[in-house]
Amino acid sequence: MSFDLTTRLSERRTAHLYRQRPHLQSPQAPLVRVDGQPLLAFCSNDYLGLANHPEVITAMQQGAAKWGVGGGASHLVIGHSSPHHELEEALAEFTGRPRALLFSTGYMANLATVTALVGRGDTVLEDRVNHASLLDAGLLSGARFSRYLHNDAASLANRLDKASGNCLVVTDGVFSMDGDLADLPALCAEAKKKDAWLLVDDAHGFGPLGATGGGIVEHFGLGLEDVQVLIGTLGKGFGTAGAFVAGSEELIETLIQFARPYIYTTSQPPAVACATLKSLELLRSEGWRREHLNKLIARFRQGAAEIGLSLMDSFTPIQPILIGDSARALQLSAMLRERGLLVTAIRPPTVPAGSARLRVTLSAAHSEAQLEQLLEALADCWPLLAVPESMEAVHA
């Protein structure tokens, strides 16, 4: 018996689900060069436009000159450098929590945290459209795993009634493919009734949301007693790389002792931590970035409604255009690219079958004129989009 990889790949192509990596030949910015073509991009998670900020670049260069370019070892061996320590303290202060712990990736932070907190005999309850890393973490933890209906506190309450052992409720803060917010006040209320803990992965909330960019917890005015485990990534609103978990002294010490992806991974380069310290400073002090971003979001939604596009319930930088059929989503993406715009088509299994979409993401680095260019192109392309013989069912 041998692996028939050719058939698997062919089937994926036939279903219009084959993925290809765009070759970015320029820094992250609205104007990029991809596969040799100059394009105006609306698909980056660099929400505040900090990934190519000159002060952040300088901080990383100076950090590399002082600390070198590699972490050298895991944090528990000799890889925990002063910049890492300083960044953890700054992130703890930023989130209003006693401690924070750095990770090299968001996937690693989610996997490490869930598997360190629960195991056999415990229960993990997750929103059905959580990020893949959260779902994988729940499955790999060995705990009893169940998914509640999307953003449905009543569905969560029903599953909490059946939970056993320690119970961990897990949700995205901003759902990455839909752009909507978790109903945290309602979820917190249900979790408290059953003495369950709430874990929020706010990868897409830090930076755009909250008065100071503190994310969904700041947006709703919640604290440590409401959300015991708060996770954020640094490669989106912060514009750098890595992730962190913020919480109590006991939580962070538990992760240091028991989270295998933390214990057995080399630390991120100290220079990245230096860059993130600068981006955190800019994220907090330059409120105009969030103000400009919010204006762009409002204008896009207004313009999309005038065109007749089907949007989702989102006031975040993530503005999906719901298409339904994967082939049509690819067609619209290709038509926009012919007009010099890069907007990625998102298809199953990343999203449910029948809910393929173009995932428009806005950045504070976009100008109003660039947004109008996108809306004009969508207005031109939308009427030309082919209607398939049999439409896939569209699921919200």
pLDDT of residue 387: 67
pLDDT at 388: 58
Q: What pLDDT is stored for residue 385 in this prediction?
A: 86
Give the residue from 214, 206, 191, 217 showing the smallest Cα distance to 240. 206
Q: How confident is the model at residue 94 (pLDDT cuts 50, 70, 90)?
A: very high
pLDDT at site 392? 41
Same domain flag for 251 and 352: no
How confident is the model over 164-217, as pLDDT tens digits?
999 999 999 999 999 999 999 999 999 999 999 999 999 999 999 999 999 999
Q: Taking the CA atoms of 230, 233, 238 and 242 in sequence, report the sign of the dihedral they define.
A: positive
Per-residue pLDDT, 173: 98
Q: Residue 320: helix, strand or coil by DSSP?
A: strand
1 or 347: which carries more pLDDT confidence? 347
Strand partners, 209: 206
**Computed from CA positions of residues 227, 153, 235, 53, in that sequence, does the dihedral angle turn out positive or negative?**
negative
Tell me which residues are annotated as active site: 176, 204, 236
Domain contains 4? no
Q: At 29, which amino acid appears?
A: A
25 and 103 in a single domain? The answer is no
Which amino acid is present at 292?
A: H
- Indicate the number of domains in the chain: 2
| Residue after which a domain boundary falls, among 285, 316, 345 | 285
Closest C-alpha among 320, 339, 332, 348 to residue 388: 332
Q: Are 63 and 198 in a shared domain?
A: yes
pLDDT grade for 17, boundaries at 50, 70 and 90: confident
* CATH code (residue 269): 3.40.640.10
Q: For residues 288 and 48, is the Cβ–Cβ distance under 8 A?
A: no
Tens-digit pLDDT profile for residues 50-93: 999 999 999 999 999 999 999 999 999 999 999 999 999 999 99
Q: Which helix (H) or strand (E) holds 361?
A: strand 356-361
Separation between Cα atoms, residue 213 and residue 284, nearest integer Å: 6
Q: Note whether 230 and 95 are within 8 A (CB).
A: yes
- CATH number, domain containing residue 330: 3.90.1150.10
The strand pair at 356-361 and 345-346 is best described as antiparallel
Same domain, 295 and 358: yes
* 69 plus 40 within the same structural domain: no
User: Is residue 123 helix, strand or coil?
Assistant: strand
For residue 13, is it within any domain? no
Residue 390 maps to a domain? no
Residues 235, 93 within the same domain: yes
Beta-bridged to residue 365, according to DSSP, are none
Phi and psi at residue 119, to the nearest 5°: -155, -155
For residue 319, give the amino acid letter. Answer: Q
Is 274 in the same domain as 292? no
Rounded Cα distance between 341 and 44, Å, is 13
Helix axis angle, 326-338 to 368-381, nearest 10°: 120
Q: What is the pTM of this model?
A: 0.94
Q: What share of the chain is helix, strand, coil (3-state, %, to 5)?
A: 40, 20, 40
Q: What is the pLDDT of residue 395?
A: 36
Residue 5 lies in a domain: no
Evaluate the omega torsion of the peptide bond into residue 54 and state whether it is cis, within 30 degrees of 0: no
Is residue 2, in this structure, part of any structural domain at all?
no
- My answer on whether 337 and 222 are in the same domain is no
Indicate if 308 and 270 belong to the same structural domain. Answer: no
Q: Are residues 134 and 25 in the same domain?
A: no
Work out the pLDDT band at 259, boundaries 50, 70, 90: very high
CB 316 within 8 A of CB 179: yes
Whole-number pLDDT of residue 218 = 98
Which of 256, 285, 314 is the last residue in one of the domains?
285
Domain boundary among 260, 285, 310: 285
pLDDT, tens only, 114-161 = 999 999 999 999 999 999 999 999 999 999 999 999 999 999 999 999
For residues 136 and 226, membership in a common domain is answered with yes
Q: What is the biggest distance separating any 2 CA atoms in the chain, rounded to whole angstroms? A: 62
Is the residue at 246 inside a domain? yes
**How are beta strands 167-172 and 144-148 bridged, if at all?**
unpaired
The pLDDT of residue 391 is above 60? no
Residue 393 within any structural domain of the chain:
no
Q: Note whether 241 and 171 are same-domain residues.
A: yes
Confidence of residue 23 (pLDDT cuts 50, 70, 90): very high
* Digit-coded pLDDT (tens) for 365-374: 999 999 999 9
Residue 396, pLDDT above cutoff 50: no
| Full domain range(s) for residue 96 | 54-285
pLDDT of residue 96: 97
Task: Give the per-residue pLDDT at 30.
Answer: 97
pLDDT band at 1 (very low <50, low <70, confident <90, very high): low
pLDDT in tens, 227-236: 999 999 999 9
Q: Is the pLDDT of residue 390 over 60?
A: no
pLDDT at res. 196: 98
Please tell me the predicted confidence (pLDDT) of residue 16. 86
Domain-embedded: residue 218: yes
Chain mean pLDDT for the chain: 95
